[in-house]
Amino acid sequence: RDEPSPRMVELQRRHTKLVEVHSTGKLTLMDLKDHNEFLAVLTRQLSDEGEQMKRKFSIATAKQQRSHDPKRANMYGAQATALKRREKRYNNEIAMAKFEVDWLHNSPAYHQAMEFLKENWVKTSKGDFVSKKDLEDDIAVGFDDLLSSFKEEQENGMDEGGGGGLI
């Protein structure tokens, strides 16, 4: 009766896979990124679910107290009781997700990956990562070189029938 939810089964499956891949020495930055993103989505889902449960519980208990019909009062009371039972499972899922996030973020592989990112990549304002080497290569190209390459591309486009115009 108290089986883990499908998302907790998936969490355990992903954890086991990550540990297995690490033990073979084939853990990649992409593996860590995928697991971290999974945990971020899971954490967001759990947070949203918790807010919904709180709201539903508050509504059910308020309706129970305001109801003059005993049958309706019992129905709202049953809803509140069911939500309280779900709360235990929810709290267990929160604890498991928090444990997994802490485990990942405190692992040596994660720290190594973060150092690699800091040394070799820059995060843009949009949240994307750009290679520092690519940025250095782009900076090394002078403005005149860049302008002449644009002109050359435009001329080649016109020669190939692109026209470059609106007509």
For residue range 43-79, list pLDDT tens digits in order: 999 999 999 999 999 999 999 999 999 999 999 999 9
Q: How far apart are CA 20 and CA 143, in angstroms?
A: 50
- What is the value of pTM for the model shown? 0.71
What average pLDDT does this structure show over 78-94?
95
Percent of the chain with pLDDT over 90: 65
20-24, 145-149, 161-165: the lowest-pLDDT one: 161-165
What average pLDDT does this structure show over 23-52?
95
Nearest to 42 by CA among 18, 69, 7, 76: 7
What average pLDDT does this structure show over 134-163?
68
